[in-house]
Structure 1
Amino acid sequence: MWLSRYDPQGAIQTTGTDFILNLPHLLVLLFALQRFTLADWGLNLELDPTIALRHLPQPPETGNSTSNLPRGPTDRPLPSSESTNRSQRTLASGHQHGAFGDEKQGEGTSTNGKQENSSDKKMSSKTEAHMPWIQPMSASITVNEELSIRYNVPMLAPLDAPFCLHGRSTRSFEITDTSDANASDDSPKRYVAKLYWPYIRRFKEQELIQETRGVAYDLGNHLPRVIDSCDIDPTSTLCARKDLDLDQVPSSTRALRMIIFERLIPTTNLQGHMFLTALVECMRCHYVLWHNGIRHQDISLGNLMVRTIGDRYYGVLNDWDLSFWEGKGESEADLTATVPYVAIRLLYLWRVNPKADRKYYFELESFFWCIIWTFLAVKDRKLQPIPAMVDWLMGDIRRSADLRGSYFRHPEQFHAYEAWRSYEDMRFEISEWIRCRLNDLESKIDLDGDLELLRGFLEIVSQNVAGLEMPTSPAINGL
């Protein structure tokens, strides 16, 4: 028998034990596991007070009362329903400096930038059906002296949910600002929270976003606004490894972090020229930062957001937790991206060398795939891929490259949704332009400079869309 413990840092596995020949060791193990508290299993009751209801046995007839819940030998008494509903706590923070995730910035999309998975919805409904005694409640947390937030638990339908345990395990959700006297649970949400497990050794996303805002005077409206963030201690993945006296590399340690953002809306909420305008603004913002040593590295439709100020829309390049910041550490091989948007050539390079250099063109191609996904897979603000694209939704590097590569052979066989039919000429021409760049890379022919690549891309958009007023902000020298 082998025992494995999994967390966002990876797995801890024991050596094998023959419990037939060594029964006493099995009994000791069972006695030890029996005495684990919920905290020992890595669960945080203060972040989600319903954890106890979901993980401790409770007969259905006891209703929502927590007084009759069986407890483990070392479990402390559960909080009363009132204190559970309004559990208050100031989170330990390495930096409580006023400062992601996407939430309901659009149905089916997280503000964080990831498309909501239909399987998550199915899972949520099943969970609700199997736990009828768990009534929704709210949890409250004091982030700093000026900001206290409230959110609903259990989180059956987060705006953005993780696909696997290992890694950042990002979860995004709506929050209510309890310090706002006019805010209620039913009022529109001003903020969203992102809860995730970044590497401790990496720069904080909040710090990078603050740095990007100082690069150019006209970038502010095209970048997310961080309200604050905090690290939740002592739940880092290093704790269990220290207890087991494991010789771990400290740099691989992950910490649970919460970051509060201004609420944005997805670009998929926009139609026609407004969508293209927001997209181009994101491309210009990306170019300026790329040439100032800050690389986003995860361009995807879910990370292209929109801020509204009055009747004006601003494209916002969101979600910077996978970014490279020149002078703040080396590029890391295990920092991935959203595979259905990654440049095809880069996927092939990753199979040989996970640290393959990311050229500017690769990120430019990711913007191209954002256009393709919008025209062929977004209908009524929801991700509904046409039949020819259904198989593109995958994380397999080689298969994703092969399937999307086949698109260039016959792009006319992929039919856009009605709302985007008037942009077909642009799609065909820009697809041909990307195909030529792919052929050049395959033939090891040097591409044009970054500015010329961006200029060529934008000229195709401008020349094939009648009446589109191309954005000039953020400003780019020579463009």
Structure 2
Amino acid sequence: MDSASGRDSFAQTREPGRGTVIIKATVLASPGDDHNGTDVVVKWVWSSETRTTEVDFVWRARTLAEMENPDMLDHLPNFFHSEEIGVSGALVLRLVVQESLKPLDDSTLTAAELAKAFKDIFECYRWLVEVAKILHRDISIPNLMYRRKNDQIYGVLNDFDLVHSMGEGNPPMAPSARSPTWLLTCSSSNLWCTCPATTSNR
């Protein structure tokens, strides 16, 4: 991508040098004009230089899908560009440009379309685990997306930043606060219930 116009969309920060920034953009110029005018998402994230990139995991899944289950391509994210900048020792800055997807909580979806999208994503998750041997590890509402193609809705499982390879020789990986891609589940205090406990006789 040569250039793009951007709009802030999302920013997540934890410790200095760690976090994710996501910007919605429109491509103004690209080699061969293949993506001119295309809406994209630009994401940059600080990550451990030893960690396999999100793009590598997705391309591994897409390559396997092309050979064994082409229909699964409709449920995986699509990347247009990626690069890595080594800045501070064990941390590197990774930048990706990917297809812009729509959130599953989009109010324009019908009940039937929403049900299909959920089913698509469930089947994609199962295929990733059983066939591609990839564990997503970050199933959350913001990562449940969809794309519209030929007037059809296709559910897409997005954001492979925290995935783990389940292949031979790779034991299950426990979350660690020392990992640049560690998520603290339910860390927000506004998710805690402040209502007093009650009991009822039955």
The TM-score normalised by the length of structure 2 is: 0.76
Q: Which runs of 5+ in 2 are unaligned?
A: none
Q: Tell me the CA shift for residue 291 of structure 1.
A: 1.7
- List gaps (5 residues or longer) in structure 1: 1-146, 239-252, 341-393, 410-479
Indicate if the aligned counterparts of 2:5 and 2:28 stay in contact, CA closer than 8 A.
no
Give the superposition deviation at 1:208.
0.5
Aligned to 1:273: 112
- Kept in 2, the 8 Å contact 1:197–1:256? The answer is yes
Alpha-carbon displacement from aligned partner over 1:241-287 (angstroms, at most 9, x marks no partner): xxxxxxxxxxxx21011001011111111242322221121011101
Q: Show CA shifts across 1:125-166 (max 9, x none).
A: xxxxxxxxxxxxxxxxxxxxxx312234xx6xx211114334
Provide the residue aligned with 2:88 in structure 1.
Answer: 237
SS of the aligned residue for 2:19 comes to coil
For 1:338 and 1:320, the matched residues in 2 are separated by 17
**Shift in Å at residue 182 of structure 1?**
10
Q: Does residue 1:222 correspond to 2:75, yes or no?
A: yes
Q: Whole-Å Cα distance in 1 between the matches of residues 61 and 27 of structure 2? A: 26
Q: Is the contact between residue 150 and residue 177 of structure 1 (CA under 8 Å) also seen in structure 2? A: yes
Match of residue 185, structure 2, among 316, 326, 339: 339
Residue 218 of structure 1 deviates from its aligned partner by 2.1
Per the alignment, residue 11 of structure 2 pairs with 161
Alignment of 1:385-424 (within 5 A): 394-395=187-188, 403=193
Structure number with higher helix proportion: 1
Code of the residue aligned with 1:326 in structure 2: it is M
Structure 2 residue identity aligned to 1:395: S
Counterpart CA distance in 1 for 2:183 and 2:136 is: 10
Q: Choose between structure 1 and 2: higher strand proportion.
A: 2
On the 8 A contact 1:297/1:337 being kept in 2, the answer is no
| Rounded Cα–Cα distance in structure 2 between residues aligned with 1:308 and 1:287 | 22
CA distance in 2 between counterparts of 1:228 and 1:280 reads 29
User: What value does the CA root-mean-square deviation take over the aligned residues?
Assistant: 3.0
- Is residue 5–residue 27 contact of structure 2 (8 Å, CA) maintained in 1? no
Query: Residue 150 of structure 1 corresponds to which residue in structure 2?
Result: 4
- Would you say 1:207 and 2:47 are equivalent positions? no
After superposition, give the CA deviation of every residue in 1:297-324 in whole Å (9 maximum; x if it has no partner): 0000100111111210100000001001
The Cα shift of 1:337 comes to 4.1
1:308 counterpart letter in structure 2: R
Quick one: distance in 2 between partners of 1:263 and 1:222? Answer: 13
- C-alpha displacement of 1:179: 2.4
Counterparts of 1:258-337 in structure 2 under 5 Å? 258-269=95-106, 270-292=109-131, 293-327=133-167, 330=171, 331-334=173-176, 335-337=181-183
Contact 2:144 2:156 in 1 (8 A): yes
- Residue-pair matches, total: 181
Higher RCO structure, 1 or 2 (CA under 8 Å, sep 6+): 2
Deviations 1:441-463 (A, max 9, x none): xxxxxxxxxxxxxxxxxxxxxxx
> What is the CA–CA distance in structure 1 between the aligned matches of 2:154 and 2:118, rounded to whole Å?
9
Deviation at residue 339 of structure 1 after TM alignment: 2.8
Change (3 A) 1:211 1:183: closer
Cα contact 1:206–1:229 (8 A) shared by 2: yes
TM-score by length of 1: 0.34
Letter in 1 for 2:72: L
How many angstroms apart in 2 are the aligned matches of 1:339 and 1:167? 20
* 1:362-382, Cα deviation, whole Å (9 max, x unpaired): xxxxxxxxxxxxxxxxxxxxx
- The 3 A distance-change label for structure 1 pair 165 and 257 is same
Point out the structure with max Rg over C-alpha. 1
Q: Counterpart of 2:23?
A: 173
Which residue matches 1:138? Answer: none
Quick one: distance in 1 between partners of 2:121 and 2:184?
17
Q: CA deviation at 1:227?
A: 1.0
SS at match of 1:322: coil
Identity fraction in percent: 25
State the distance in 2 between where 1:183 and 1:223 align.
19
Q: Secondary structure at the match of 1:299?
A: coil
What are the Cα deviations for residues 315-337 of structure 1, in whole angstroms up to 9, with x where unaligned? 00000010011248552522434
